[in-house]
Amino acid sequence: MKFNTKLLHDVPSVDPLTGAASLPKYQVSTYHQEDIFNKQKYTYTRFGNPTIEALENGIATLENANFGLAFSSGMAAITAALMTLQTGDHVIAPKDIYGGAYQLIHDFLPNYGISSVFLEEMTAEEIGQNLKPNTKMIYIETPSNPLLKITDIREVVSIAKKFQLKTVIDNTFMTPIGQTPLDLGVDMVIHSATKFINGHSDVVAGLVATNDEKIFSALKKRQVTFGSILGPEDAWLVLRGLKTLGIRFERSTENAKKIAEFLATNEAVKKVYYPGLATHEKSTVHFSQAQSGGAVLSFDLGSRQAVADFFKNLTIPISAVSLGGVESILSYPATMSHACMSKQDRLAAGVTDGLVRLSVGIEDIEDLLDDLSNSLHQVEVMNIDE
Ligand SMILES: Cc1ncc(COP(=O)(O)O)c(C=O)c1O
């Protein structure tokens, strides 16, 4: 079955009890127990709920996984995955990584005796040089946020298997239609479902998929004990959003490619970061593991002032934290996704004052290109006046 058909017919969507074509929202915290001496399937929503379970089965189906779990946010999913580590363990992660994940690994895990190293490039060579006897996990994002760096998933899996390390990937940018890392041997796939999976900028949610029953049980325990399960209403909304993931992501990706090509030729743009461009240094690696360039790109306008002028003159994209909505979303990583990093760490990670990230929506491409072109023209005019 192909992806769009799977979305509509393999992700649970029909109520098994009544045949209703929209899965009911079991907006409930607790369940009447007919017989308190014998176990029943549902007892309390933090332990399990049919609407949440439908979404969990859905992400498992889409990621070709045996198990799925839904969390109250992408960060809650990341936290559960990282908290499978024990005191004394060491984790290897990339320098270019979502700011919240960086903060968790860098600022919080040391409180529990878990150490880390952040690498420029997640190559087998760099990983090999930074392996310690207590290294237990390799955490990656590909494409990464916000520099769209590409990591060779097969290479990471290969070194991880050699040293019996667990691999975790944040697959938020590609979604399961763009990349299915479990097929390449990764142990845990994480999504901020707040982004493309839900797609409508109206829910905060996280998902994890895995094939390993032991990992699933460990994550389930953390989901229940940390209390980080997604609410039924949000699970229902994500299930609803998920139905159109295929067409939304395809359209956004087509738009993103055209925008990246346009930006690459514009004088006001110093550099474009988009793995769908043949000029991206790891475009070949990316297309060996992904289906498209994705719908997020970043570009450098050279200075904070140029960024200010650009934001001021743009009319279509909303200017906001987040990505993956049906509307285009323009972000400024320095004060948004990466604000939690010190300036020194941020600059060292390549997140400059001129860097802008664009999550491309499903608007008409002509309108997006006109808007970008007008605003970039203003950036040039302002720079000449100076
Ligand atoms: C790549 C990536 N991973 C994880 C997250 C965290 O997700 P959430 O905001 O749903 O907690 C984000 C949020 O922007 C993200 O961009």
Atom of ligand 1 nearest to the CA of 76: 11
Question: Which CA distances in Å does 92 have to 36, 38, 141?
Answer: 47, 45, 12
Ligand 1 centroid from CA 376, angstroms: 28
Contact predicate 209/68, CB 8 Å? yes
| Closest residue by CA, ligand 1 atom 15 | 98
* pLDDT at position 348: 86
Atom of ligand 1 nearest to the CA of 172: 1
Residue 153 — very low, low, confident or very high, per pLDDT cuts 50/70/90? Answer: very high
Task: Express each pLDDT in 340-367 by its tens digit.
Answer: 778 998 898 889 999 999 999 999 999 9
Q: What is the rounded average pLDDT of the residues 9-20? A: 94
Task: Express each pLDDT in 263-318 by its tens digit.
Answer: 999 999 999 999 999 999 999 999 999 999 999 999 999 999 999 999 999 999 99
Residue 151 has pLDDT above 90, yes or no: yes
**Cα 275 to Cα 358: distance, rounded to the nearest angstrom:** 14
Closest by Cα among 348, 350, 346 to 336: 346
Task: Express each pLDDT in 90-129 by its tens digit.
Answer: 999 999 889 899 999 999 999 999 999 999 999 999 999 9
| Closest residue by CA, ligand 1 atom 6 | 74
Atom of ligand 1 nearest to the CA of 78: 4
Ligand 1 centroid from CA 99, angstroms: 9
Taking CB atoms within 8 Å and a gap of at least 24, the contacts of 214-221 are: 215/84, 215/166, 215/187, 215/188, 216/66, 216/67, 216/69, 218/84, 219/69, 219/80, 219/81, 219/84, 219/188, 220/69
Catalytic annotation, residues: 46, 98, 170, 195
Q: What is the rounded average pLDDT of the residues 21-40? A: 96
Closest by Cα among 197, 185, 181 to 289: 181
CATH topology agreement for domains 3-242 and 245-385: no
| Closest residue by CA, ligand 1 atom 14 | 322
* pLDDT at position 303: 95
> 107: which DSSP letter?
I
Residues, the chain: 386
* pLDDT at position 90: 98
Domain spans, the chain? 3-242, 245-385
* pLDDT at position 385: 52
> 104: which DSSP letter?
I
**Cα 355 to Cα 300: distance, rounded to the nearest angstrom:** 4
What residue type is assigned to position 253 of the chain?
T
**Cα 65 to Cα 191: distance, rounded to the nearest angstrom:** 14
Residue 255 — very low, low, confident or very high, per pLDDT cuts 50/70/90? Answer: very high
Atom of ligand 1 nearest to the CA of 321: 14
Residue 245 — very low, low, confident or very high, per pLDDT cuts 50/70/90? Answer: very high
Residues with CB under 6 A from ligand 1: 73-75, 98, 100, 141, 145, 170, 172, 192, 194, 204, 206, 322, 337
Question: Which CA distances in Å does 24 have to 13, 14, 16, 29?
Answer: 9, 9, 10, 15
- The CATH class given to the 3-242 domain equals alpha beta
Ligand 1 centroid from CA 170, angstroms: 9
- Fold that domain 245-385 belongs to in CATH: Aspartate Aminotransferase, domain 1 (3.90.1150)
Query: Which residue from 139, 192, 335 has its CB within 8 A of the most atoms of ligand 1, so it is best to mutate?
Result: 192
Residue 383 has pLDDT above 80, yes or no: no
Tokens of 254: 């087509």
Contact predicate 30/45, CB 8 Å? yes
| Closest residue by CA, ligand 1 atom 2 | 98
Tokens of 75: 């960060």
Ligand 1 centroid from CA 35, angstroms: 42
Residue position matching structure tokens 């690696």: 285
**Cα 166 to Cα 227: distance, rounded to the nearest angstrom:** 24
Ligand 1 centroid from CA 377, angstroms: 32
What mean pLDDT is reported for the chain? 96
Q: What is the rounded average pLDDT of the residues 5-24? A: 95
**Cα 56 to Cα 51: distance, rounded to the nearest angstrom:** 9
pTM: 0.96
Contact predicate 230/194, CB 8 Å? no
Task: Express each pLDDT in 183-212 by its tens digit.
Answer: 999 999 999 999 999 999 999 999 999 999
Ligand 1 centroid from CA 41, angstroms: 32
293: left (phi over 0), alpha (psi -120 to 50) or beta: alpha
Atom of ligand 1 nearest to the CA of 141: 1
Contacts of residue 301, Cβ cutoff 8 Å, sequence gap at least 6:
268, 269, 270, 307, 310, 354, 355, 356, 379
Share of the chain above pLDDT 90, in %: 92
| Closest residue by CA, ligand 1 atom 9 | 74
